[in-house]
Amino acid sequence: MIFNAGVFELYKADGHTVCGLGVEWTEPRTITEGALALLGKAFLAVGFFAGVGALVAGNAASGPPAAPFAVAAVLFFGLFVATVRAGVRTPGKVNWMEFHEDGRITASWDRTVWKTRVEDIRSIESVQLHQKKKEEDSDYTHGVRFITRRGKILRVAENLEPDDSVTLAVLLNEALEAVRYPQVGASPSGEPVAVW
């Protein structure tokens, strides 16, 4: 999966007045990626044995012809490459979180308004959730969590690579701070407005 994250603005009903900020990011589809990795390994193994069969058949004077084995080896190696590419390019699951100027928080996985409000959040941080036991284990070891003023921990993202979790934590912190402490500017009529 290719990680994507970005900040977007929320608008009031008039469509022009900004009333908050949101952050959108992608998380991997671990089951799909795992199935594609397993399928790729199977194609690689079959391609290897077909290649060995082509070598054995080519060296045997009275054995079966080597061409079918060679074609099968090339086909399975091609399927292996296609499967690995599909696993890397699998689109991630899109999640988002919105911080509203009135203190409300909403998220893609729970569309109701959270009881936790903007002013309750004390820290947003990247955290390691799993350790790699073997080199071939997944790199999706980190996540992002909120810590509230009462010490409650809310996990908002998981199955991210370490650098991606830091990127997401920074974007969420910036959006939260911009909503919590908006800069005040002046509108063309001279009235103060929040500038995001």
Report pLDDT digits (tens) over 21-71: 999 999 888 888 888 888 989 998 988 888 888 887 777 656 667 788 888
Predicted local distance difference test score (pLDDT) of residue 30? 80
Predicted local distance difference test score (pLDDT) of residue 188? 54
Residue 95 lies in a domain: no
Low-confidence ranges of the chain (pLDDT < 70): 60-64, 183-196
191 and 106 co-located in one domain: yes
Question: How many domains, in total, are found in the chain?
Answer: 2
Question: Judging by beta carbons within 10 Å of its beta carbon (0-12, 13-18, 19+), is residue 171 exposed, middle or buried?
Answer: buried
Predicted local distance difference test score (pLDDT) of residue 114? 84
181 and 130 co-located in one domain: yes
- Residues 175 and 158: their CA atoms lie apart, in Å, by 19
117-147 burial code (b ≥16 CB/10 A, e <16): ebebbeebebbebeeeeeeeeeebbbbbbbb
For residues 167 and 178, is the Cβ–Cβ distance under 8 A?
no
Residue 70 lies in a domain: yes
Predicted local distance difference test score (pLDDT) of residue 189? 54
Predicted local distance difference test score (pLDDT) of residue 175? 92
Give me the phi and psi of 131, to 5 degrees please.
Answer: -115, 145
Residue appearing with tokens 């058949």: 57
Residue appearing with tokens 């909503």: 179
Predicted local distance difference test score (pLDDT) of residue 195? 53
- Domain of residue 74: give its range: 32-88
